[in-house]
Amino acid sequence: MHEVAHAPKVPHIEGHFESTATVRDIVIGLSDGLTVPFALAAGLSGAVASSRIVVLAGLAEIAAGSIAMGLGGYLAARGDAEHYVSERQREEREIVERTHDEEEEVYEIFERYSVDRASAAPALAALKENPTAWVDFMMRFELGLEEPAANRAHRSALTIASSYVAGGFIPLLPYMLVTGNLEALKLSVVITLVALALFGALKGKLVGTGWLRSAIQTTLIGGIAAAAAYALASLLNGSHP
């Protein structure tokens, strides 16, 4: 909040749409990658004797999670791009075929901001002189759609997947290196909570929600998810001797 309020205005706006997408992808991948394999490993470590199975399950989870999230991000970004193109083509048709309706829509957009017809008329006249600009205007102001960056889908998939893998290895390392599930669990809890706190603080700095609050929130999510997985696995393990 602090950072946002003091950032220079124009760079902030320009930076807003550019960086949000990539930062969001890293945040999505890293927060789930740090949290879910951590919670799964913690849960299993209380229920199975061998740390081999914990590592195996953790790595299988990282493979499954990074692919599912990466491909999911790819399709979501491609879907956004296609949605933009198809809506744009529709607007291009409509300003030609249903010019009057589209003019009325421009008046309606301005009316929502209490700009009356007479005050909106000169702007509409200017838009009508440049059909491309008019379509741009309708895309943004009628439909609220931004043109997605080119290659967004590939970049999004790779960013999410690699962030997930990077995050997922942190909680698993102790189970690979330390003998004894309980020792590994303790070490995994410590390093992962520290990693979650650091990641949360950095995220809070970047997104502008305040580093301390973000650090606490991120750590809590990981902790709660791990505690729930641990409790569930212990419970089921107890009932199934």
Among 25, 26, 29, 39, binds a second copy (CB under 8 A): 39
Q: What's the min distance (Å) between Cβ of 101 and a second copy?
A: 8
Restricted to residues 143-172, the positions that interact with a second copy (CB under 8 A) are 143-144, 146
Q: How far apart are CA 190 and CA 16, in angstroms?
A: 34
Restricted to residues 120-139, the positions that interact with a second copy (CB under 8 A) are 120-123, 125-127, 129-130, 133-134, 136-137
Q: What's the min distance (Å) between Cβ of 60 and a second copy?
A: 3
Restricted to residues 46-65, the positions that interact with a second copy (CB under 8 A) are 47-48, 52-53, 55-57, 59-61, 63-65
185 vs 126, 167, 240, CA distance in Å?
66, 17, 22
Among 15, 79, 180, 238, binds a second copy (CB under 8 A): 79
Comparing CB distances to a second copy, the nearer of 121 and 198 is 121
Q: Which residues contact 95 (CB under 8 A, 6 or more apart)?
A: 102, 131, 134, 135, 138
Restricted to residues 8-37, the positions that interact with a second copy (CB under 8 A) are 9, 13, 16-17, 28, 31-32, 35-36
User: Among candidates 59, 31, 29, 12, which has minimal Cα distance to 156?
Assistant: 29
The DSSP code for 129 is T
Tokens linked to 100: 């009057």
- Our finding on whether 232 is near a second copy (CB under 8 A) is yes
Among 21, 178, 198, 221, binds a second copy (CB under 8 A): 221
User: Among candidates 238, 240, 163, 153, which has minimal Cα distance to 195?
Assistant: 163
- Our finding on whether 212 is near a second copy (CB under 8 A) is no
Tokens linked to 154: 């590939």
Comparing CB distances to a second copy, the nearer of 191 and 220 is 220
Restricted to residues 98-117, the positions that interact with a second copy (CB under 8 A) are 101, 105, 110, 112-116
Among 142, 158, 178, 198, binds a second copy (CB under 8 A): 142
Q: What's the min distance (Å) between Cβ of 173 and a second copy?
A: 15
128 vs 30, 89, 133, CA distance in Å?
46, 17, 8
DSSP 3-state helix, strand, coil percentages of the chain (rounded to 5)?
85, 0, 15
187 vs 179, 191, 222, CA distance in Å?
11, 6, 15
Comparing CB distances to a second copy, the nearer of 174 and 207 is 207
Q: How far apart are CA 92 and CA 173, in angstroms?
A: 55
- Our finding on whether 182 is near a second copy (CB under 8 A) is no
